[in-house]
Chains A and B, each alone.
Chain A
């Protein structure tokens, strides 16, 4: 039942996306052009990577505010390794693989810190990850003394800009990632455990679910997803930046929640998150193309998220009433 409901929620948002396209298409010049749809797609992918990770954490009933800091720290450290401007491995053929590996390891480490704080030290996720976010992003800025790092190797930049046939290279990263998490949630023991922990951690524990490890996994996976997004963002900008992703948190959580994942845990799906991220990206893109002033963009975005949540709440209430 619960899964059916979240599935409905996901499809409902897909419908919303279609409506958005139908409304904006004729009004906004260039909106339905293939170039623009490619833009939407390439903006969607890194956001989706972060959002998919966040979905895992929200399903366990937690929240991870530190994803933005992971994006930033991974970006500068990865760039440090491979930049032609005095990077550790500048010019080496190993530079790109080593940098990518390091970026993923950053995700692993920060995720472990989050996960242990929540599972082992029993800190409330909101504050634990808020503190980690503040620390890690401060650390990233301190490391670079505010400077951005350019001179990234061509091979790395291709991850952001390259394409294979019609598909952007990033799709080859995010597609399998999303599919993997989807299969994880729907087909594996670990997936069921994630839902169980979010549904009722006490019951899960009594039932032999290794609750602490499951929670730890969710935070680690979430941070690694953020690191993947960091790779894409960094490649796309051809720059390692200590403030990369500083402002994406609200988009990420907005996307996941619009996609029908519960903030209280136990409910959510990757498909829903895909739709949610698509919706946010389309909205952003459409508002951008309209060239509205920045305050109008803020207001419209806020109002649309609220309206989406309202429709979702109403729909759910109707379903419950039945």
Chain B
């Protein structure tokens, strides 16, 4: 246990936070609430997984929240116009992939720094989606909510989705050539190039995957919400980055894991928000508590893993 906690500081914090909240309210540790936390972490977990791919290449994607919005808006328009849910889902996938790939192309082919590229696409995407939706909320048909609140073998669909994504991403990163190559590229792109790896294509794929997962994360959120409002996805990039880094993913590339890393990070963040509601905390305290938890987690992490370069 001690070893686990020193290896994954987020785990220790998660245990601490949960212990604290369970003292605050007996309802906190009940199974339905734990299920709630899992469901509520689903979207963030998927976003943070996508972000991990990009962070591994020593990049960053600030356009995640914006991409969520764009793909949800496109698919939402389709559904509102009478399109079927599977068609809408296909739109989500394609829009996410294209959006992410555009980021990737700008980063790899145009030689612009990821921070600036994705900052720009953050603006562009949000503007585009606002134009699409005429800055109105899209209220989607109930059939979508039915999907979002359905259970597969007793497990809520969003949890199934995030589990599939986490396991899939974990296997991709740990057990496929593509995944191992991403680690190589992130740690030392020059050496990776000399070793004959297609560095640009790898980085591009990471951004495309991040876009895809941003869109999927958005879809999971929309399936629970039943609506897309103009603030949809706003500032989610910061949450995604925080969750990934809390889980031990390095901002400097080449280090980090989806399981258990990102999972822990997303759970930690969502648990804090959940617990604060359960104990009926003063709304004004939320940001301060969350910030303090993130701060401590990052502090522990940078000490466990040595300093950043």
| Complex contacts, A295 vs chain B, CB 8 Å | 126-131, 135
Closest to B134 in A: A295
B302 within 8 A of A: yes
| Complex contacts, B291 vs chain A, CB 8 Å | 131-135, 138
A134 CA to B117 CA, complexed, in Å: 24
Closest to A253 in B: B119
What's the minimum C-beta distance from A13 to chain B, rounded to whole angstroms?
Answer: 14
Contact A128 B126 (CB under 8 A): no
Stretch at the interface among A25-33, A118-126, A171-179, A191-199: A118-126
Closest to A125 in B: B308
B150 within 8 A of A: no
A122 CA to B303 CA, complexed, in Å: 8
| Complex contacts, B242 vs chain A, CB 8 Å | 127, 130
A317 within 8 A of B: yes
Stretch at the interface among B37-45, B84-92, B159-167, B282-290: B282-290
B5 within 8 A of A: no
User: B residues engaging A (CB < 8 A)?
Assistant: 106, 110-113, 115-117, 119-131, 135, 238, 241-242, 245, 251-252, 282, 284-288, 290-292, 294-295, 298-299, 302-303, 307-308
19 further interface pairs, Cβ-Cβ under 8 Å (given A123-B302, A263-B116): A121-B302, A122-B303, A127-B298, A131-B294, A134-B291, A141-B287, A145-B284, A257-B115, A294-B130, A295-B126, A295-B127, A299-B123, A306-B106, A306-B117, A309-B112, A309-B113, A309-B120, A310-B106, A317-B111
A-B contacts at CB below 8 angstroms, number: 141
| Complex contacts, B120 vs chain A, CB 8 Å | 302-303, 305-306, 309
| Complex contacts, A317 vs chain B, CB 8 Å | 111
Contact B124 A299 (CB under 8 A): yes
A84 CA to B286 CA, complexed, in Å: 31
Closest to A122 in B: B307
A137 within 8 A of B: yes
Partner of B124, one of A141, A145, A250, A302: A302
Contact B127 A297 (CB under 8 A): yes
Interface centre among A131, A137, A310 (most CB of B within 10 A): A131
Closest to A127 in B: B298
Knowing A122-B307, A127-B245, A299-B127, say if A305 contacts B116 (CB, 8 Å): yes
Contacts of A94-125 to chain B: CB distance below 8 A = 117, 121-124
A237 within 8 A of B: no
Contact B127 A302 (CB under 8 A): yes
Main secondary structure of the interface of B (DSSP, over half): helix
Contact B122 A302 (CB under 8 A): yes
What are 6 of the A-B contact pairs (CB < 8 Å)? Answer: A123-B298, A128-B298, A135-B292, A295-B126, A302-B127, A310-B106
A135 CA to B294 CA, complexed, in Å: 10
A221 CA to B238 CA, complexed, in Å: 25
Contact B112 A124 (CB under 8 A): no
Contact A299 B302 (CB under 8 A): no
Contact A138 B288 (CB under 8 A): yes
A310 CA to B286 CA, complexed, in Å: 40
Knowing A135-B288, A299-B124, say if A306 contacts B295 (CB, 8 Å): no
A22 within 8 A of B: no
| Complex contacts, A182 vs chain B, CB 8 Å | none
Contacts of A145-202 to chain B: CB distance below 8 A = 145
Contact B302 A124 (CB under 8 A): yes
> What 1/0 mask marks residues of chain A from 264 to 275 whose CB sits below 8 Å from any chain B CB?
100000000000
| Complex contacts, B116 vs chain A, CB 8 Å | 257, 263, 305-306, 309
| Complex contacts, B303 vs chain A, CB 8 Å | 121-122
Partner of B135, one of A134, A142, A294, A301: A294
Contact A299 B128 (CB under 8 A): yes
What's the minimum C-beta distance from A276 to chain B, rounded to whole angstroms?
Answer: 12
